[in-house]
């Protein structure tokens, strides 16, 4: 945990290898638009450091998790969905639907979202 994974697409995005436009960028976290949006606003918030999923986090990572939530809130403000409401989702492992094995939080909003099934 923690070292960049050369085969991880999110590690490459965080290192700005593709010139991805960041919605928000801090020293430890970046946020960028999802390429297959599931809502009018769909942004990924990821740590620059490789962490497979939230399962890998521990007490030492509390500041990083707090920063990720703060960035998610900033994304909501910048995208104009903070007042109307938004959803934060993270998946852990294949059975949850996690497709990229790098911790990420989805920020979803911009319309009324359906129930979580």
106 catalytic residue (yes or no): no
Res 93 pLDDT > 60: yes
pLDDT tens for 3-57 read: 777 899 999 999 999 999 999 999 999 999 999 999 999 999 999 999 999 999 9
Looking at residue 54, what is its pLDDT? 96
Res 87 pLDDT > 80: yes
pTM above 0.85, yes or no: yes
At 6, phi and psi to the nearest 5?
A: -60, -25
**Domain layout of the chain by residue ranges:** 9-109
Architecture field, domain 9-109: 2-Layer Sandwich (3.30)
3-state helix/strand/coil string of 48-93: CCECCCHHHCCHHHHHHHHHHHHHHHHHHHHCCCCCCCEEEECCCC
Q: Write down the catalytic residue from 42, 50, 102, 104.
A: 104
Looking at residue 95, what is its pLDDT? 95
Q: Would you give the DSSP letter of residue 2?
A: B
Closest CA to 45 of 62, 60, 26: 26
Res 75 pLDDT > 60: yes
pLDDT band for 89, please (50, 70, 90 cuts): very high
């Amino acid at each position: 945990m923690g070292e960049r994974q050369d085969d991880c697409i999110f590690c490459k995005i965080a290192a700005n290898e593709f010139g991805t436009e960041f919605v928000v960028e801090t020293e430890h976290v970046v946020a960028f638009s999802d390429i297959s949006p599931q809502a009018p606003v769909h942004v990924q918030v990821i740590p620059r450091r490789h962490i497979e999923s939230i399962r890998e986090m521990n007490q030492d990572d509390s500041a990083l998790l707090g920063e990720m939530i703060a960035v998610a809130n900033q994304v909501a403000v910048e995208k104009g969905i903070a007042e109307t409401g938004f959803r934060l989702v993270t998946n852990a492992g294949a059975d949850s639907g996690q497709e990229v094995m790098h911790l990420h939080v989805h920020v979803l909003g911009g319309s009324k979202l359906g129930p979580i099934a």
